[in-house]
Amino acid sequence: MKILDVTDLSVKSGTGLALVSNVSFSLEPGARLGLIGESGSGKSLTALAIMGLLPTELNVSGSVLLSDGKTASQQILDAPEKVLNQIRGAVVSIVFQEPLTALDPLMKTGKQLAEPLRRWHGLKGATLQAEIFNALDEVRIGNPKRIADSYPYEISGGERQRAAIAMALACKPALLIADEPTTALDVTVQAEVLALLDTVVASRGMSLLFISHDLAVVSRITDSVLVLKDGEVVEAGSLQNILNEPKHPYTRELVSSAKELDAALTISARSGGDHDISNS
């Protein structure tokens, strides 16, 4: 039974402008998909549509079916808020790009993490505290007590993002959507958070929808990709196929840019070893 089944998803603005057109894809339990697109490609709107979080002034059509793998699929589009509230967090969760805005700046981190735990698992008091620390441990946060007692602006970007991931995982969803989760992070932190996502998603057997503009980052965490341009899927397939034989002109452009930059690193590094002052 598929965890996520998106068919002909289309999103139009209030004035009729097509923002997402006929996007279709699906995810089996434990499967991962990378959604590659640049700004304006509709990737974030797709994620919001799956969560049932699209702004009301947008018109959406098509079908988005979500399931936790055990019970029947639920149609997300046009579902009543009551139903969606049961699904968000428990079946599907999302991690956004900028943790500073995704977390409430006026609430301590621990308290924010406590909310979903309290609501879903009815935990209180000492059990709740313990679970909070467990959750923070799972995302490999260095000092869980310090983080739990701090406000979001008092902790580093990497720590914030880990806390955000902990919150997303708190209710044990079947699907995790990550929308550019590492784009705002430093390179070294990015590597760590990607490794964390990789481990956590694998250990829980979750499905992952990973959205990014960076082919190299996506390649770290998943093997199949969907390429979006201007709201449409222009190409889909395994990462190897896309990298070696891109068919659509846009994909070719993306791949060649990514390869050119990646190559610059290799060439530079190679000529470095021999102290060869060659032209790069």
Binding positions for another protein, rule: CB under 8 A: 38-39, 157, 186-192, 194, 213-217, 219-220, 239-240, 243-244, 253-254, 256-262, 264-265, 267-273, 275-278, 280
In terms of CB distance, is 111 or 213 closer to another protein?
A: 213
Nearer to another protein, 130 or 265 (CB): 265
Residue nearer to another protein on the CB measure, 157 or 173: 157
In the complex with another protein, which residue's Cβ is closer, 55 or 272? 272
Q: Which is nearer to another protein, 91 or 95 (CB)?
A: 95
User: In Å, how far are 87, 91, 124, 127, 141 from 131, measured between CA atoms?
Assistant: 21, 19, 10, 6, 14
User: Measured from the CB of residue 250, what is the shortest distance to another protein in angstroms?
Assistant: 8
Least separation in angstroms between CB 38 and another protein: 4
Question: Which of 211, 215 has the CB closer to another protein?
Answer: 215
How far apart CA 228 and CA 234 sit, in angstroms, is 6
Q: By C-beta, is 71 or 244 nearer to another protein? A: 244
Least distance to another protein, CB of residue 223, Å: 9
Could you tell me the smallest distance in angstroms from the CB atom of residue 189 to another protein?
8
**Contact predicate 192/165, CB 8 Å:** no
61: which residues sit within 8 A by CB, 6+ positions away?
Answer: 8, 9, 10, 12, 77
Distances (CA, A) of 69 to 4, 74, 90: 9, 11, 12
Rounded to the nearest whole angstrom, what is the least distance from the CB of residue 173 to another protein in the complex? 26
CA 30 to chain CA mean position, Å: 14
CB of residue 156 vs another protein: minimum separation in angstroms?
9
Shortest distance in whole angstroms from residue 39 CB to another protein: 6
Q: Are 129 and 108 in contact (CB under 8 A)?
A: no
In this complex, which beta carbon is closest to another protein, that of residue 127 or of residue 257? 257
